[in-house]
Structure 1
């Protein structure tokens, strides 16, 4: 019998237990200890991000971003409809009206050229999602934001080690966020990161992160006592999570190399068949790099995608679709302004994600490719 091929399988470097053990021996298990500092320093030094704060999830990082931007009831925030609910929830929780934009025809990312028409006097921010780790056209977006006095948040949940014209994603907008969920390239089970690129937000971000207190400033000796100075929440992960993450970050290079090899093997194995218009393969614009996060196919219609899902399932291969357009969700449908977002709906119906994880063997990957060609 052939073994089952899961959609995802978390990768362990083998050093997670070692670092967790050191964290346990340190006697400090709550947040903002040595391993939290190590992880934050890694991102600040490796990618030259201005200020980084480790969080318990990417959602938490986005919640801090929404608070930092002083999002209030009546404010409008533009974002793609084809994304996970976590992109929208932090802004909805602050009372914002979400204005959903369509995706590009060649890529599930936001249609940059559709953004300006959605701006009103109430618009306060643009949230972009670098789908599959592939950059949105950030020059276009930042120019639009600058012209209209808007903030830009990069939801870079899938985009670790991905670049736009040589600049790391997450480091271009005013704020950036990352995820270390077990489905991502670099993981800690759950976990996230806030990147603060605008100096104006640094001090307050740290306060919000520390439950609304100036505790971090106190421990640095900058104030003689700390107290409640702003709103905030308990956004810090434990040292156990940070230690696990650090073991992954130490192996970022080998992990990325292997994932890109798997991605390229899919592309080479399927490109000839795709040229026959059976489906579309992922598109990487010239200004973007590929970080090997995801490999997907886009079919002509829902039925063709459903047929392949069932075919793969019959061979014990687990492939899955992705987001459902948020503007048509049960929660939001009545709040949408009735614009048709055709590309977002097409990806909802036609996009299929193939198994993609570090330990996917060449033999199993060939089996997946052969089943698709069959």
Structure 2
């Protein structure tokens, strides 16, 4: 049976095609008018020293690894429960991911385990803000300051979310956003690097422009541009930036709509949680999330396929999430674990992610809740 309720439905707000058409007439390659508007918006919204659009969040993380001069043998502490890009960006430079367990409440990197994982080779901490809910950044930044470490926030899911009033991605040394079609604010593909350390801004521009000082040349700061250091082509096309600009204009409305869907789920599942049939997401008071994802944790791993299968039979797409990196073939080859992964190994087998998009109807949510309730 084909799915009548998609896990993720692409949401257009009306101006995307108009702006893409304008970009086709003005400029197709990157760093045109729409890119500049997106940069300005991100800088105003987050307070970062410099925002730079990239062709993916993966690219933004790779830029972060280059900016930090990650070298073979350098260690980067991160959760195992994350997308492969968090680790790949550093492994490409010869870095070693050091996997640490996650918290049971937020499924974020457990800040209480970080300090014991630090060695003389540790260069950075890479917290991942799962589901748009912030990691405990005050503690993480304090640990980083004590040990002279950089902090790279993987805020792929965190556009529009904050921690103690500060935008996710703007707190650490560097931050990375995603605008993939599965995220809140979308452009099909696309990402952004937030350069929160002013002394890294010019070098970030060079790395993004294939290792050249082309950006400075176009600002009239140098009389010619040339190859300065290692870099790559991390710019998105102006078509992506144009589409993204339409989404940025409506970012608050998009996130409000997602939060309304999230809140409906949360209220509907309260009774099932009270009876011990599932656990709902937990959002600490200091975190303002963005309604990126709604998941439930089932009591037993064996229930997950039953639930997903029952939803699929009704034409409803549901999903789980990451196979932990520490137990993956590449994770075992390129990284190492520090301590037990008890929470990670347990939670990834019990999580079910439910459809969530701004246009999801309340009636469809009722169907989803009823089917899930019948399986638990």
Q: Which residue of 2 aligns with 1:363?
A: 363
Q: What's 1:92 paired with? A: 91
Query: 1:349 maps to which residue?
Result: 349
Matched, 1:235 2:245: no
Q: 2: distance between equivalents of 1:337 and 1:368?
A: 37
1:338 deviates by 7.5
Q: TM-score, normalised by structure 2?
A: 0.97
Give runs of aligned pairs for residues 25-104 of structure 1, distance below 5 A. 25-26=25-26, 28-104=27-103
Q: TM-score, normalised by structure 1?
A: 0.98
SS in 1 for 2:241: helix
Unaligned runs of 5+ in 2: none
Matches within 5 A, 1:276-287: 276-287=275-286
User: Could you tell me which residue of structure 1 aligns to residue 131 of structure 2?
Assistant: 132
Q: For residue 223 of structure 1, what is the aligned residue in structure 2?
A: 222
Deviation at 1:272, TM superposition (A): 1.1
303-312 or 318-327, which moves further after superposition?
303-312
Superposition pairs for residues 102-251 of structure 1, below 5 Å?
102-251=101-250
Query: Superposition RMSD on alpha carbons, in Å?
Result: 1.3
Structure 1 gaps of 5+ residues are none
SS state at 1:104 partner: coil
Deviation at 1:47, TM superposition (A): 2.3
CA distance in 2, matches of 1:203, 1:333: 36
Aligned to 2:303: 304
CA distance in 1, matches of 2:338, 2:95: 18
- CA shift digits 1:202-228 (9 cap, x unpaired): 110000001100000000000001000
Q: Deviations over 1:282-341 (max 9, x none)?
A: 000111012100000011221012211111112111110001110000112255357420
Deviations 1:26-70 (A, max 9, x none): 1x2111111110101011112222100000000000000000000
- The residue that corresponds to 1:4 in the other structure is 4
Q: Which residue matches 2:290?
A: 291
Alignment deviations for residues 321-366 of structure 1 (CA, whole Å, 9 cap, x no partner):
0011100001122553574201111121011100011121111111
Alpha-carbon offset, residue 141 of structure 1? 0.1
In the alignment, the residues of structure 2 paired with residue 163 and residue 97 of structure 1 have an alpha-carbon distance, to the nearest angstrom, of 29
Cα deviation for residue 271 of structure 1 reads 0.8
- SS in structure 2 at match of 1:279: coil
Cα distance between partner residues in 1 of 2:58 and 2:45: 23
Q: Distance in 1 between matches of 2:80 and 2:3?
A: 37
Residue 332 (1) aligns with residue 331 (2) = yes
Which whole-Å CA distance do the structure 1 matches of 2:336 and 2:3 have between them?
Answer: 45
In the TM superposition, residue 98 of structure 1 has moved relative to its aligned partner by 1.0
Task: Return the alpha-carbon distance in structure 1 between the equivalents of residues 109 and 338 of structure 2.
Answer: 18
Is 1:274 the counterpart of 2:263? The answer is: no
